[in-house]
Amino acid sequence: MSRASLSAVSQGAHRMTERPLSGVTVVSLEQAVAAPFATRQLADLGARVIKIERPGEGDFARRYDGTVHGHSSYFVWLNRSKESVTLDLKDPRGGDILHGLLAGADVFVQNLAPGAAARLGFGVDDLTARHPELIPCTISGYGTDGPWADQKAYDLLVQCQTGLVSLTGTPEGTARVGVSVADIAAGMYAYSGILTALYTRAVQGRVRPVEVSLFEALAEWMSQPAYYTRYGGTQPPRVGTQHATIAPYGAYTAADGEEVLFSVQNEREWAALCARFLDRPELAGDPRFATGPDRVVHRDALNAIIADRVGASPARDVLARLQGIGIAAAEVNDVAAFLDHPVLAGRDRWRDVGVPGATIQALLPPVDLAGVDPRMDPVPAVGEHTDAVLAALGHTPAQRAALRADRVI
């Protein structure tokens, strides 16, 4: 089946807006977070994404929780605008169907356990030999070679291995980052790598496989503390909501118990803070606080002065005063306050998206392309599109019924 005909099967519903990746077909053997995040962003731009799931249970991320009308909050975030096809790839018939899909696809993404795709016959070497125009993308834990190639990796394990957890928390104890930051980093690099590979194929005529590991993606994000540690001799300290290398930069408690976070980024702002908020202009020349590094060294003394001032007024007054003199400041919101944020409402960032049996609100993708509406189609039920996709590949109703009876689909 040609790429054009395979892509055309589901394009009818998406012709209202010609999106940048319209006509691109992605087949993804994906689970959990990293690969689904990469492919959902491709779907946002108009790519057709066919998600391969296990018959019956599907992607195990469907059962991480049941808080969104009975569906997982992770799954509904990561899987809108996709088609779900169930296949048992351990059955040769399932493998043949997947190869039939790949014959008409542009990109294949997989983040299975180490070595699993190759054992099923879908390793990079197998794919490039059989489908030379296909761009394979592999997302692994620690790389597909090297001493840890066979290690399983999950987000928090990678946060620990890269040292991120040692930087996060308070002096009394460490903490994980509150979102799946290693998965998100890997998904972002896979997404940009796939876009680069598509561009390279279109412009240079060369197909370049893409590989991303969770460890190396988060390692890149750890570069600043890595430089600080290697060349400074000690790693940045854990300081809660304070900034490890800039002061003042952190949260302080106002008279009404609310927290206000603000940041001073340069000497002009520091002088303004001293004169017009702290009402102590002489502090600008105090040798303890003369430069940014000086203020970090004497953070405790500086925080005591600031805490006294912030604690004398309600949060609303502190924010107004700081913002009035050009100091960046904000409330420390909880998630409920974020959901009601005036920027999201004022910029019309929410859209209705279908999930099986209900409708939810989802945020628009953060990148706005002039004249292009992002695709915001429903989250699929397990195997919802299996019959339509197999019919497009030429499987008759009787053949599909036999495959279903044998639990191949």
Residues of the chain below pLDDT 50: 1-2, 4-16
Cα 275 to Cα 293: distance, rounded to the nearest angstrom? 20
Q: What's the pLDDT at 351?
A: 97
Domain-wise residue ranges, the chain = 3-222+349-405, 249-331
Q: What's the pLDDT at 15?
A: 40
Q: What's the pLDDT at 117?
A: 95
What confidence tens digit (pLDDT) does each residue in 314-356 have?
Answer: 999 999 999 999 999 999 999 999 999 999 999 999 999 999 9
Q: What's the pLDDT at 6?
A: 45
Q: What's the pLDDT at 10?
A: 43
Q: What's the pLDDT at 49?
A: 98
3-222+349-405 in CATH: which number? 3.40.50.10540
Q: What's the pLDDT at 17?
A: 58
Q: What's the pLDDT at 37?
A: 98
**What is the pTM assigned to this prediction?**
0.89
Q: What's the pLDDT at 344?
A: 97
Distances (CA, A) of 344 to 45, 68, 77, 239: 21, 20, 17, 30
Active-site residues: which are they? 243
Query: 249-331 has which fold?
Result: formyl-coa transferase, domain 3 (3.30.1540)
Q: What's the pLDDT at 4?
A: 45
* 3-state DSSP of the chain: CCHHHHHHCCCHHHCCCCCCCCCCEEEEECCCCHHHHHHHHHHHCCCEEEEEECCCCCCHHHHCCCCECCECHHHHHHCCCEEEEECCCCCHHHHHHHHHHHCCCCEEEECCCCCHHHHCCCCHHHHHHHCCCCEEEEEECCCCCCCCCCCCCCHHHHHHHCCHHHHCEECCEECCCCCCHHHHHHHHHHHHHHHHHHHHHHHHCCCCCEEEEHHHHHHHHCHHHHHHHHHHCCCCCCCCCCCCCCCCEEEEECCCCCEEEEECCCHHHHHHHHHHCCCCHHHHHCHHHCCHHHHHHCHHHHHHHHHHHHCCCCHHHHHHHHHHCCCEEEECCCHHHHHCCHHHHHCCCEEEEEECCEEEEEECCCCCCCCCCCCCCCCCCCCCCHHHHHHHCCCCHHHHHHHHHCCCC
